[in-house]
Structure 1
């Protein structure tokens, strides 16, 4: 079940995010684990129209989350949001990430966003393929911009147009 996140989800959100940092999945450019307290602050920063959602399984455990964030501080970009999706490592390769992204796309359109963007590390092929499969298009490639594990990594930017009538 997908629902709006609240501060009580901060521990699970931090756990899932920290998996993405430490498991070698190349799902984030962060290098150090985050605390649950920092995720409470992060949740407070996600004020309308930038929601955070969690996927709760039948046991009531949070196994994934998604968020819309501002793309830029410049006011002319307010119609664009950046997406983030993170899934518990035991649930990857299932439907959780895709369903969270579909839910985020529908929500963003209802909120009046014209486009969504995501920055995906080049080595994270599964996330790239999932985004492309849901209608995102590759719009930019930044070679060797993120230094991780003593190596420079490329980042792919993808974009989803939410103004098309087929949305």
Structure 2
């Protein structure tokens, strides 16, 4: 890190199955110690590898690497299963707690959001457990707007948790949008 706390020399690249252990470790921290995700059991390395492959097949999963170590990841995935939702994607970002607020989330979204736009997605969504000032600010920086709040929608770590729904329109509405790639 440099003097202002930002991480230098960040490589953003497509995730591979070789990154599954690092991604599982980062995500496992959030599963086990926070309400940032509503999963109750941390996924295995094998499950994480399957998730990476699934995202890569139709959306995107990126990792941030510094000094040959994966320190964060971001992905776009299906918003919902129904076919009419295929132009929407849900995005998430998770960082090693040691590098939070070092610019890595921004670096990941600087690559992820244009990639999803290029692939023909029209709308991005993010679900953010509240309170989460850092994630709210990251998404707002990219133009995401809060479009809803699900009150007491999840119960984890002995408390009820609200979830903000944020949305970003990537393209103006089209009468006949091209299929996302």
What is the TM-score when the length of structure 1 is the normalising length? 0.92
Which of 11, 22, 32 in structure 2 is aligned with 1:12? 22
In structure 1, C-alpha distance between the alignment counterparts of 2:39 and 2:20, rounded to whole Å: 17
> For the Cα contact (< 8 Å) 2:63–2:72, is it kept in 1?
yes
In structure 1, C-alpha distance between the alignment counterparts of 2:74 and 2:163, rounded to whole Å: 20
Instruction: After superposition, give the CA deviation of every residue in 1:27-72 in whole Å (9 maximum; x if it has no partner).
Output: 2111222211111121222243311111111x21000111110001
In structure 1, C-alpha distance between the alignment counterparts of 2:160 and 2:122, rounded to whole Å: 32
In structure 1, C-alpha distance between the alignment counterparts of 2:139 and 2:39, rounded to whole Å: 21
Q: Does 1:64 align with 2:52?
A: no
Work out the number of aligned pairs and report it.
Answer: 162
Q: Does 1:35 align with 2:44?
A: yes
> For the Cα contact (< 8 Å) 1:49–1:111, is it kept in 2?
no
Q: Where does residue 130 of structure 1 map in the other structure?
A: 138
> What residue ranges of structure 1 are gaps of 5+ in the alignment?
none
In structure 2, C-alpha distance between the alignment counterparts of 1:12 and 1:144, rounded to whole Å: 31
Q: CA deviation at 1:152?
A: 1.0
Q: Where does residue 2 of structure 1 map in the other structure?
A: 12
> For the Cα contact (< 8 Å) 1:4–1:53, is it kept in 2?
yes
What is the TM-score when the length of structure 2 is the normalising length? 0.85
> For the Cα contact (< 8 Å) 2:64–2:104, is it kept in 1?
yes
Q: Which has the larger radius of gyration?
A: 2
**Tell me, what secondary structure is at the counterpart of 1:46?**
helix
Q: Where does residue 118 of structure 1 map in the other structure?
A: 126
In structure 2, C-alpha distance between the alignment counterparts of 1:48 and 1:37, rounded to whole Å: 17
> For the Cα contact (< 8 Å) 2:16–2:53, is it kept in 1?
no
Q: Where does residue 55 of structure 2 map in the other structure?
A: 46
User: What value does the CA root-mean-square deviation take over the aligned residues?
Assistant: 1.2
